[in-house]
Amino acid sequence: MDKIRIIGGTPLKGNIRIGGAKNSALKLMCASILTDGVLTLTNVPRLADIRTTAQLLESLGIEVAFETPDGDGAPQRLVMNGGTLNNTVAEYDIVRKMRAGVLVLGPLLAKHGKARVSLPGGCAIGTRPVDLHLKGLQLLGAEIELDGGYIVAVAPNGLTGAEVTFPFVSVGATENLMMAATLAKGTTRLINAAREPEIVDLAECLKAMGARIQGAGSDTIEIQGVESLNGAEHAVMPDRIETGTYAMAVAATRGDATLIGARPDTLGAAIASMEAAGVIVDRVPDGMRIRCGALVGTDVMTEPYPGFPTDLQAQMMALLSTAQGASMVTETIFENRFMHVPELSRMGASINLHGRSAMVRGVHRLTGAQVMATDLRASVALVIAGLAAQGETIVNRIYHLDRGYERLDVKLAACGAQIERIAG
């Protein structure tokens, strides 16, 4: 298994180009199921999760082609032909690799009236059930049962619009229901919907395909079903989590770098939290410039958008590990998203866990160590810690990083980091 070796202590300086958003692209790809036409996505990142989703679509019969018109390393175009779909079963072997696989359920039901989709099961950051997805689809008229680890859903007469009130905010359930409702008869209202920028990106793509959607980005989304959707071309939004991750890496090394293509308007409370910790964030014409004065402790609590994102919690904790004073980091979205804490502690961080909160007492300097993590964001937090630490850090199990960060080592090395990938 490949590893990353870092010699810490070099401030990151230069430009870092931000890629297309993983968590938007995965759902946009699932939208190809809703049309008999061709959906083309541009600004698609080169990530393991994107390839897994492409395999999932191919297993349904959809023809998928990656194109790189601007040569190696440039963002990809992805061309998907929904008209070739000939199977409505999403197998365990693919869905188990990536929870987002359950996002084919709504589109399959809406377009083909049936679906058999493997239950995704738990994952390292928590149990992560899909009950809200299923209850919402049932309100739209789907009949659903569980059989041998699969969700078996049918809607023999098609789906019908309904009012769906989510008991709490779920990004995936909002997306699944929004896609399903585009082809339902009549009007669907999603109440207490997620407001994440990826929801807006998906709605924009669906609208380009002919869907009638209002209110995406607010807590109430109204969808008027249409007979059919056409093909379209859509550019994936820039990745706000990749943006926040590099911003924290630059700050942790007390560097000065510009994140090219970043969209600060999609970062929500993350910018205010970084500023409260002493990070200087300047909006520049094509992105954000990040510098850092003295880092000071600040309290952070994860919340649905526009609150501080859970997907930046681990990175923020790595940053706050070397701030002056104490910080309280509280995780409210997932029940088990502190796996980075023991690893950061091995690098000299002073962190105490109390239930859903972590008390971080800043130390003068972290020290390099051998570390590993069990999920994507925890892994990248260890890279940030390694960049800031004194000495050598080896991050093991980096296949997690390949799921969500494109050419991480190359982008960081271009800003002066001493980092290399070691094939294992």
Q: Which is nearer to ligand EPZ, 144 or 226 (CB)?
A: 144
Name the residue nearer to ligand EPZ (CB basis): 360 or 373. Answer: 373
Contact between 130 and ligand EPZ by CB under 6 A: the answer reads yes
Rank residues 15 and 52 by Cβ distance to ligand EPZ and give the closer one.
Answer: 52
Q: Could you say whether residue 100 binds ligand EPZ (CB under 6 A)?
A: yes
Smallest gap from residue 130 Cβ to ligand EPZ (A): 5
334 counts as binding ligand EPZ under rule CB under 6 A = yes
Judge contact between 130 and 172, C-beta under 8 A: yes
- Reduce the DSSP state of residue 147 to 3 states and report it: strand
Which one of 167-175, 254-262, 384-392, 406-414 is the stretch in contact with ligand EPZ (CB under 6 A)?
A: 167-175
Q: DSSP string spanning 1-30? A: --EEEEE--PPPEEEEE--B-HHHHHHHHH
The residues annotated with a catalytic role in the active site are: 123
Termini Cα distance of the chain:
5
Where helices occur in 268-375 by DSSP H, the ranges are 269-276, 313-320, 340-346
The interface region with ligand EPZ, picked from 104-112, 123-131, 244-252, 273-281 by CB under 6 A, is 123-131
Residue 51 structure tokens: 């390839």
Which range, of 86-94, 128-136, 260-268, 362-370, touches ligand EPZ by CB under 6 A? 128-136
Residue whose Cβ sits closest to ligand EPZ: 172
Quick check: bond before 306 cis, omega within 30?
yes
> Quick check: 135 and 122 in contact, CB under 8 A?
no
Return the residue of 8, 37, 75, 172 that touches ligand EPZ, per CB under 6 A. 172
Rule CB under 6 A: choose which of 171, 193, 269, 271 binds ligand EPZ: 171
Instruction: Report, in Å, the least distance between residue 127 CB and ligand EPZ.
Output: 6
CB of 241 to ligand EPZ, least distance (A): 6
Closest CA to 138 of 176, 83, 194, 97: 176
- Residue from 5, 114, 128, 289 that binds ligand EPZ (CB under 6 A)? 128
Contacting ligand EPZ within 65-84 (CB under 6 A) = none
| Exposure on the CB side of residue 326, measured as CA atoms within 13 A | 6
* Site track for ligand EPZ across 355-394, x = CB under 6 A: ---------------------xx-----------------
Would you count residue 118 as binding ligand EPZ (CB under 6 A)?
no
User: Position 235: which residue type?
Assistant: A
Residue 360 φ then ψ, to 5°: -110, 120
186 binds ligand EPZ (CB under 6 A): no
Q: Residue 126 interacts with ligand EPZ (CB under 6 A)? A: yes
Tokens 């197998």 label which residue?
91
- Pick from 81, 88, 118, 170: which binds ligand EPZ (CB under 6 A)? 170
| Residues 238-267 interacting with ligand EPZ (rule: CB under 6 A) | none
Q: Is residue 194 classed exposed, middle or buried when 0-12, 13-18 and 19+ CB atoms within 10 A define those classes?
A: buried
Rounded CA separation 391/369 (Å): 8
Q: Which stretch binds ligand EPZ (CB under 6 A): 68-76, 122-130, 199-207, 345-353?
A: 122-130
Q: Which is nearer to ligand EPZ, 360 or 376 (CB)?
A: 376
Are 96 and 120 in contact, with CB atoms under 8 Å apart? yes
How far apart are CB 82 and ligand EPZ at their closest, in Å? 21
Nearest by Cα to 114 from 60, 174, 154, 74: 154
Alpha helix (H) ranges present in 238-389?
Answer: 240-252, 269-276, 313-320, 340-346, 376-388
- Smallest distance from the beta carbon of 184 to ligand EPZ, in angstroms? 19
| Distance of closest approach, residue 131 Cβ to ligand EPZ, in angstroms | 5
What number of chain residues touch ligand EPZ (CB under 6 A)?
22
| Nearest distance in Å: CB 293, ligand EPZ | 29
> Which of 395, 356, 351, 397 lies closest to 374 in space, CA to CA?
397
Contact status: 99 vs ligand EPZ (CB under 6 A) = yes
Q: Considering the rule CB under 6 A, would residue 421 count as an interface residue with ligand EPZ?
A: no
Per CB under 6 A, 307 contacts ligand EPZ: no
Residue 163: strand pairing partners? 189
CB crowding 236-254: b at 16 or more within 10 Å, else e: bbbbbbbbbbbbbbbbbbb
Interface with ligand EPZ includes 190 (CB under 6 A)?
no
Quick one: which of 175, 211, 249, 299 has its CA closest to 416? 249
Footprint of ligand EPZ (CB under 6 A)? 23, 26, 99-100, 126, 128-133, 170-173, 310-311, 333-334, 376-377, 404
